[in-house]
Amino acid sequence: MSDRIPRRALVTGGRTGLGRAVCHRLVEGGLKVLATTRQELPAPEPTLRWLRCDLEAPGAPERLWGEVEAATGGEGVDLLVNNAGFGIFSPAAGPDAGDALRRQAEVLFHAPAALVRLALPGMMAKGRGWIVNVTSLAAEFPIPMMGGYAGAKAALCAWTAALEVELADSGIKLIDFRPGDYRTDFNQAMASISTDGSADPRAAAVWRRLEHHLANGPPPERAARDLWRALERGRGGVVRSGSFAQARLAPLLARLVPQRLVRRCQRAYYGL
């Protein structure tokens, strides 16, 4: 195992989707992994243990960190993967929009930031560690009717960038991991907590596109492979992962053309 690769990881939201694939890749790579879920705890494996955590509950990051400390004999982890999250489909003028904004900010920004703050002292004392914040290409290309999701992810991107500068030369590396559409349970989870927007034809058009893009996205193992490669390279920074069109072409073109045109393309992309 390369010296660059960490030994012990905490992955939030490891039961399904990207988190599940990342946990398996890390275990394959020889790491001991602690993973979280809100559900019944799966049976532990020799190198994969489960902790229960709902990041929306008050004080959840602190309680989780206490359990991590207990499970590792006070050692903590040298890789934190802030992966857990969900989206809320909520048109900005809808009755639930305020609640959606608050919930998205809590789980996608405040909770991961709190976990980073809890993990940092131990990493700083050792002079090494990795922090991976799973954000989204939606931070660069916001999804209509999902402004709260895009906004919270963009906040996490900016905060990660600030920390990268602040912690330069500390031995701690930060990765802003930005997936495009991946074939996971993300939309099912979103549908189960969002107001039915099918009465609004614009919302229905966007939803259909979201379903199509996710169903045709690559499998989550590809994201796990990209993250593993980034760890092996030993460099922090932004890592975009997904289809060629979403993760390579779109960000490149967006740098070359006026924002006005980018937004117009987004309208077409979502059928608006």
Ligand X SMILES: NC(=O)c1ccc[n+]([C@@H]2O[C@H](COP(=O)([O-])OP(=O)(O)OC[C@H]3O[C@@H](n4cnc5c(N)ncnc54)[C@H](OP(=O)(O)O)[C@@H]3O)[C@@H](O)[C@H]2O)c1
The footprint of ligand X (CB under 6 A) covers 12-13, 15-19, 37-39, 53-56, 83-86, 107, 134, 136, 179, 181-182, 184-186, 189, 214, 217
Q: How far is the CB of 198 from ligand X (least distance, A)?
A: 21
**CB 218 to ligand X: min, Å:** 9
Dihedral pair phi/psi, residue 75, rounded to 5°:
-75, -30
Residue identified by tokens 């002079």 is 127
Question: Own/partner pairs for 13-17, CB < 8 Å, 24+ apart?
Answer: 13/37, 13/83, 13/84, 13/85, 14/48, 14/50, 14/83, 15/39, 15/42, 16/184, 16/185, 17/182, 17/184, 17/185, 17/186, 17/220
Residue (1 or 80) nearer to ligand X, CB: 80
Nearer to ligand X, 105 or 124 (CB): 105
Collect all residues with Cβ–Cβ distance below 8 Å to 47 and sequence separation of at least 6: 27, 31, 32, 33
- In this structure, are strands 48-52 and 32-37 parallel, antiparallel, or unpaired? parallel
Nearer to ligand X, 84 or 206 (CB): 84
User: Is the CB of 84 or the CB of 230 nearer to ligand X?
Assistant: 84
Sign of the dihedral defined by the CA atoms of residues 176, 144, 198, 103, in that order: positive
Q: Whose structure tokens read 């500390």?
A: 170
Residue nearest to ligand X (CB): 17
d(CA 116, CA 5): 19
Residue with Cβ nearer ligand X (53 or 113): 53
Q: Toward ligand X, which CB reaches closer, 106 or 124?
A: 106
Q: Closest distance between ligand X and the C-beta of residue 141, in Å?
A: 11
Cβ 110 to ligand X shortest distance, Å: 11
Shortest separation between residue 70's beta carbon and ligand X, angstroms: 19
Least distance from ligand X to the Cβ atom of residue 37, Å: 3
